[in-house]
């Protein structure tokens, strides 16, 4: 007996169950990320997103309700993988700022997965005329996007630079050694090391 093929509505409900499970996984991961965070503003960002995520779970329950569907969860393997990667990072022996940079990277992968999925279910709900679901899901999408932006501003607003400041260990020493070694052959143009300036005072470095 041939069964009718599943419809976009079926795919939509499936995707909502996947998201419901993903959000639950995130509420378990965020407290660990909060503990692993070194910068207070980053820990605060994780904490406030945990609160939001709990609200998002409730909101998904309202979405199911608005559709007359039972609240069900379907294991989200994608989120499990992203969270597993984050868990592995937390086990690494990074310096404090680098750990924070890596936590942000892991968290942004989570947010981007969510942004992709919510964007899809919103577009499908709009196409099928599920207006209440659209309204609710858009509220969550806004929170995910704001979280993503907040994480970006924490990264580029200081954490990355702090992490980068020790990224190359004794690079300055290596650089000086290279400049010193290069003295016999080529002028060290543009170098700000004392040896480089010495070359410039010889009038051989171009300006």
Q: Which residues bind Fe ion (CB under 5 A)?
A: 23, 53, 56, 114, 144
- Which residues touch 85 (CB under 8 Å, ≥6 apart)? 106, 109
Nearest to 52 by CA among 153, 146, 123, 134: 146
Output 100 or 114, the one with its CB closest to Fe ion.
114
Please identify, using beta-carbon distances, which residue of 97 and 155 lies nearer to Fe ion.
155
Query: Please, what is the minimum distance in Å from the beta carbon of residue 148 to Fe ion?
Result: 8
In this complex, which beta carbon is closest to Fe ion, that of residue 29 or of residue 159?
29
CB of 57 to Fe ion, least distance (A): 8
Longest Cα–Cα distance of the chain, Å, equals: 91
Nearest CA to 147 out of 60, 43, 59, 45 is that of 45
Angle, helices 96-128/77-90, rounded to nearest 10 degrees: 170
Beta carbon nearer to Fe ion, 56 or 191: 56
Minimum distance between the CB of residue 34 and Fe ion, rounded to whole angstroms?
14
CB of 58 to Fe ion, least distance (A): 12
Question: Is 157:95 a contact under the CB 8 Å cutoff?
Answer: no
Please identify, using beta-carbon distances, which residue of 100 and 143 lies nearer to Fe ion. 143
For residues 138 and 124, what is the distance between their CA atoms, to the nearest angstrom? 12
Least separation in angstroms between residue 92's CB and Fe ion is 23
Alpha-carbon distance of 133 to 129, in angstroms, equals 9
């Amino acid at each position: 007996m041939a069964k009718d093929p599943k419809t976009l509505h079926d795919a939509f409900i499936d995707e909502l169950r996947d998201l419901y499970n993903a959000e639950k996984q995130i509420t378990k991961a965020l407290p660990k990320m909060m503990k692993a965070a070194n910068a207070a503003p980053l820990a605060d960002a994780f904490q406030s997103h945990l609160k939001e995520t709990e609200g998002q779970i409730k909101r998904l329950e309202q979405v199911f309700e608005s559709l007359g569907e039972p609240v069900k969860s379907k294991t989200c393997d994608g989120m499990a993988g992203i969270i597993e990667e984050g868990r592995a990072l937390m086990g690494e022996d990074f310096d404090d700022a680098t750990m924070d940079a890596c936590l942000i990277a892991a968290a942004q992968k989570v947010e981007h997965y969510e942004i992709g999925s919510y964007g899809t279910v919103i577009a499908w709900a709009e196409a099928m005329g599920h207006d209440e679901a659209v309204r609710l899901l858009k509220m969550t999408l806004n929170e995910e996007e704001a979280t993503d932006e907040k994480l970006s501003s924490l990264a580029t607003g200081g954490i990355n630079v702090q992490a980068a400041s020790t990224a190359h260990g004794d690079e300055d020493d290596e650089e000086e050694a290279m400049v010193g070694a290069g003295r016999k052959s080529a002028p060290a143009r543009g170098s700000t090391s004392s040896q480089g300036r010495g070359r410039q005072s010889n009038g051989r470095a171009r300006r």
